[in-house]
A = this chain, B = another copy of it.
Amino acid sequence: MAPVKPKKQIDENLVKEKETAFAEFIQRKGLKTTRQRNTIIATFFRLQGHISVEELLNEVKKANPRIGYATVYRTLHLLVESGLVEERRFGDGLARYEGHSDVEHHDHMICLDCGEIFEFYNPRLEALQEKLAEENDFQIYRHRLELYGACKDKEACSHRKRKKVEQAAG
């Protein structure tokens, strides 16, 4: 069985940087540093991918089972407000969050079979959007581009799918 995708290693230094940046944001806003917020952001930044609230809460509870939904939601809002995290919605009804560490901006391809989310960025695409906006006398603040479809590599795709089912089963 070939290795599917070399799991990116978490860069602990980068995580620490983010934690500091968030702490500064909290200070700047005159808010308070709390055990719960620290746990939540420490957990979040050590996860990778596009994390749902439930996924995050499950992880957070491993460190502190008494933390509830409300605090996770509230902390995620703060993370978004701080600019360290972006909210995504891929049409399955739940919000997902990602620390935009990799690239400043990117778009997504979502496999409807295995659920894998591929990220991409293309300057020509971005430029073309700008040009089209220009033609319509429109100024873009932000955009979202999502390509829904399927992996062509069926083996890798079904492997991921299987793995996901196992994971869900516990």
Q: Which residues of A are interface residues toward B (Cβ below 8 A)? A: 89, 91, 109, 111-112, 118, 120, 122, 124-125, 128-129, 132-133, 136-153
Contacts and interface: CB of A to CB of B under 8 A. Distances in A.
A4 to B, nearest CB: 13
Contacts of A138: 109, 111, 118, 147, 149-152
The A interface is mostly helix, strand or loop, or mixed, namely strand
Given A137-B152, A138-B118, A151-B138, A128 B129 contact: no
A132 B141 CA distance: 23
Contacts of A148: 140-144
Nearest to A150: B139
A142 B141 CA distance: 24
Contacts of A153: 137
Given A89-B91, A91-B89, A145-B145, A132 B140 contact: no
B150 A141 contact: yes
A106 B123 CA distance: 21
A149 B138 CA distance: 7
29 contacts: A89-B89, A89-B91, A109-B136, A112-B141, A118-B136, A118-B138, A120-B132, A120-B136, A122-B128, A125-B129, A128-B128, A129-B147, A137-B152, A138-B147, A138-B150, A138-B151, A138-B152, A139-B152, A140-B147, A140-B149, A141-B148, A141-B150, A142-B148, A142-B149, A143-B145, A143-B146, A143-B147, A144-B144, A145-B145
